[in-house]
Structure 1
Amino acid sequence: MSAPLQNIAIVRASGQVGSFITKALISQGKHTVTAITRGHKPTPTPRNSSAQMPAGLHAIKEVDYDSHPSLVTAMQGQDLLIITMNVLAPRDSQTKLIDAAIEAGIKWIMPNQYGGYYADDDSGPGKDDMLRDITVATRRYIEAKGASWIGVACGFWYEFSLSGGEIRYGFDFEKKSLTLFDEGTVKHTCSTWPLVGRAVAKLLALPVSGGSPCLEEWRNRQVVFSSFAVSQRDMLASVLRVTGDEEGEWRITREGSRERFERGQEMFKGGEIAGFGMLLYARVFFPDGDGDLTGLRENGRLGLLGEEEDLDEATRVAVGYVESGKAKEWSF
C-alpha cells in the first residue's frame, strides 16, 4: 500500500471554501500545505485586505498570474494542486494554473469544481447546468496534458446559500420573505463548508494505491458527499427554530422552478449577473429530483459516518453571517 500524497498546494487558501480545506488538511497532520497567492497589490480590495492565511502552512508562495515562470516555480515539488477561486474569475486563470502545475511535475489536480455532479454527456444531474460544459472541458484539458483530476460534488454550500439572499435559496432575512420554488418540498443535497474541508482532507489522507479505498479509485472522477438532503420547507422550519420566529411573520410567495430558471437565463443574457445565481439554484429544485445526490454520495467510504451535522447549527451560522453583514460580501 502506497503512502498518501505528501505535498499539497492550494490556490486561495484564505478564501471561502479554500480556508476550510486548508485548515482541515493542516489539522490532520499528514501533509505539508503550501498556499499559492497573488503577489501584493498596492490597493487591495476589501476582501483581499481582510483575508487571513490559516496557521500552520508550510509556505506561502506569491505569484504573478501573467508570468508562467512565476507559477511554475511556486509549484515545484508539489504532488497535488487544489484550485479554489470565484466561479466568475477570468476563464484563463485556471488554465494558467493547470499549465504551470503540469510543467512543474504535478500529476494530480483538484480543479475549481465544487458543487453539482456533472456527467460527461448531457444525461443525468447537471445536464442543464451552465457550468457543465466548462467543467467537462477542464477535465479533458487536464487529461490531455497527461495529469489526473478529482472533482468535488458537494452540492451547494449551505451557509453561503441560505444567507446569500433571495436569488439563492429564496430567503431574504432582512425583509423576512421567502420565495418557494413550486411548493418548496423538493429536496436537494448540500454541504457545509466544514464538511467540505473534512471530506477533502480525508480523501487526500488515503493511500494513492494498493488498498480500498485509495485515491486511485477517484482518478478522473468526482467524489460525492453531502451534509444534508433538505427542501426549502425543511430550511424554513430550521430558520424558525433558530430565530424563534413564527411562520406568520414571514411573507411567503411562490414561483415555478422552471419559470424561475428561465427568468434567470434571460436576466443573465441581458447582463444581470444575479440571473446566473438564480438559474443555478432554481435548477436543483426541479421536480425531476436531479438535485438530490443522496444515492451517489460516498460519505461512508470517506470515513465521514459518525460525523453527522446538525441542520439547526448550520442554519445558526448562516443567520450569523446575515446579522454580521458578512453575507453581503458574497452577493452577486
Structure 2
Amino acid sequence: MSSPLKNIAVVGASGQVGSFITKAVISQGQHNVTAITRGHKPTTPRNRTAQMPAGLHAVKEVDYDSHASLVEAMKGQDVLIITMNVMAPKDSQTKLIDAAIDAGIHWIMPNQYGGYYPDDETSEFGRNDMLREGAVAVRRYIEGKGGNWIGVACGFWYEFSLSGQEYRYGFDFEKKSLTLFDDGEQKHTCSTWPQVGRAVAKLLALPVSGASPCLNDWKNKQVVFSSFALSQRDMLASVLRVTGDKESDWTITHEGTEERFKRGQEMFKQGRIAGFGIFLYVTVFFPGGKGDLTALRENEKLGLPEEDLDEATRVAVQYVESGKAKEWSLS
C-alpha cells in the first residue's frame, strides 16, 4: 500500500467551494496546501492573501499569461485542485493544466463540481446539460497530456442554490414566492459546501494504491456523493420549519420543466445571464429522476457523515438575511 499524496495546490482557495475544500484538507493535518492565486495589479488591493484560509503552507501569486510563472508555482506539487467561476475565461483551465503537467503534477481535479457526466454520450444523465460537453473535453485534454483526473459529482450546492434568486431553485425569499417546477415533487441530489470539502479531503487522505478504498479507485472517474435527496416541496418544508412561516405566507406558482428549460434558453440567447441559471437548474428536476444520484453515491465508502437538512437551510436563510446571497446574483 502506498502513502497519500502530500503536496496539494489549490486554485481558488479563497473562493466559494475552494475555501471549504482548502480548510477541510488543511484540518486533516496530512498535507502541505499551497494556494495558487492571480497576482495583484497596481490598480487592485494587495491584501488578497488576507482572505486566504489559515494554515496554508504557502501562497504563490502567478501571472496567467505566463506559462513559466504557473509552472514555477506548481513545482513540487502532487495534486492540482481547480476551483473557479464557470464564467471564467475558457482558456484559464487549460493554461493551468498545461503548467501542472509541465511541473510534474499527475493528479488534477478539474473545475467540475456538480453533475454526473459519464463518458457515454447516449447516457440519460446530464440530459440537456450544457456543461457536460465541456467537462468531458477537459478530461480528454488532461488524459492527452498524460495526466489523471478526478471529477466531483456532488449535485448543486444546496445553501448557495437555495439562497439564490428564483432562477435557481425557484425560491425568492424577499418576495416570499416559489415557482414549483411541474408539481415540485421530483427529487434531486445536492451537497452542502462543507460536505464537498469533507469529501475531497477524505479522498486525498487515501493511499494512492492498495486495498480499496484508494485514490486509484477514482483515477479518471468521477467521485459521486451528496448531502440530501430533495424535491422543491422538501426544501419548502424545511424553509417553513426554519423561518416559522406558514405555507400560506408564500405565493406559490407552477411552471412546467420543459417550458422553463426553453424559456431559460431563449433568455440566455438574448443576453440575459439569469436564463443560464434557469435552464441549467431545471434539468435536474425533469421527470424520470435523472437528477437523483442516490443510487450512485459513495458516501459510505468515503466515510461521509449524515447532515441535518434544517441546519443547512438555516445557513441559506442567513446568507439571504445578511445580503451575502446578492453577491452571487446573475442579474
Q: Same fold (TM over 0.5)?
A: yes
2:302 partner SS: coil
CA distance in 1, matches of 2:60, 2:166: 38
1:314 partner SS: helix
Shift of 1:49: 6.1
CA distance in 2, matches of 1:50, 1:178: 39
State the partner residue of 2:320: 322
State the partner residue of 2:161: 161
Relative distance call for 1:85 and 1:151 in structure 2 (3 A) is: same
State the partner residue of 1:240: 240
- The answer to whether residue 72 in structure 2 is matched with residue 73 in structure 1 is yes
State the partner residue of 1:14: 14
Q: Report the AA paired with residue 235 of structure 1.
A: M
CA distance in 1, matches of 2:310, 2:73: 41
Q: What does 1:16-31 align with in structure 2 at a 5 Å threshold? A: 16-31=16-31
Q: What does 1:223-262 align with in structure 2 at a 5 Å threshold? A: 223-262=223-262
- The answer to whether residue 127 in structure 2 is matched with residue 133 in structure 1 is no
CA contact (8 A) 1:118 1:127 kept: no
Deviations 1:41-85 (A, max 9, x none): 33449xx96971000000000000001000000000000000000
2:299 partner SS: coil
Alignment length, in residue pairs?
328
CA distance in 1, matches of 2:49, 2:324: 12
Q: What does 1:189-228 align with in structure 2 at a 5 Å threshold? A: 189-228=189-228
CA distance in 2, matches of 1:131, 1:231: 22
2:311 partner SS: helix
Relative distance call for 1:238 and 1:51 in structure 2 (3 A) is: farther
State the partner residue of 1:311: 309
CA distance in 2, matches of 1:258, 1:50: 44
Instruction: Please give the TM-score of this superposition, normalised by the length of structure 1.
Output: 0.97
Shift of 1:123: 1.2
Instruction: Please give the TM-score of this superposition, normalised by the length of structure 2.
Output: 0.97
State the partner residue of 1:180: 180
1:20 partner SS: helix
Deviations 1:147-168 (A, max 9, x none): 0000000000000000011000
CA contact (8 A) 1:82 1:109 kept: yes
Relative distance call for 1:76 and 1:130 in structure 2 (3 A) is: same
Relative distance call for 1:51 and 1:174 in structure 2 (3 A) is: farther
CA contact (8 A) 2:49 2:59 kept: no
Q: Report the AA paired with residue 226 of structure 2.
A: S
CA contact (8 A) 2:127 2:283 kept: no
CA contact (8 A) 2:18 2:83 kept: yes
Relative distance call for 1:51 and 1:132 in structure 2 (3 A) is: farther
Deviates more, 1:144-153 or 1:122-131: 122-131
CA distance in 2, matches of 1:118, 1:275: 22
State the partner residue of 1:90: 89
Shift of 1:172: 0.3
CA contact (8 A) 1:76 1:105 kept: yes
Shift of 1:90: 0.4
CA contact (8 A) 2:114 2:155 kept: yes
Relative distance call for 1:173 and 1:43 in structure 2 (3 A) is: farther
- The answer to whether residue 97 in structure 2 is matched with residue 109 in structure 1 is no
Deviations 1:211-258 (A, max 9, x none): 110000100000000000000000000000000001001000000011
Shift of 1:29: 0.7
Shift of 1:146: 0.3
State the partner residue of 1:331: 329
Relative distance call for 1:288 and 1:51 in structure 2 (3 A) is: farther
Q: Name structure 2 gaps, 5 residues minimum.
A: none
State the partner residue of 2:59: 60
2:142 partner SS: helix
Relative distance call for 1:26 and 1:49 in structure 2 (3 A) is: closer
CA distance in 2, matches of 1:162, 1:331: 12
State the partner residue of 2:143: 143
Shift of 1:288: 1.5
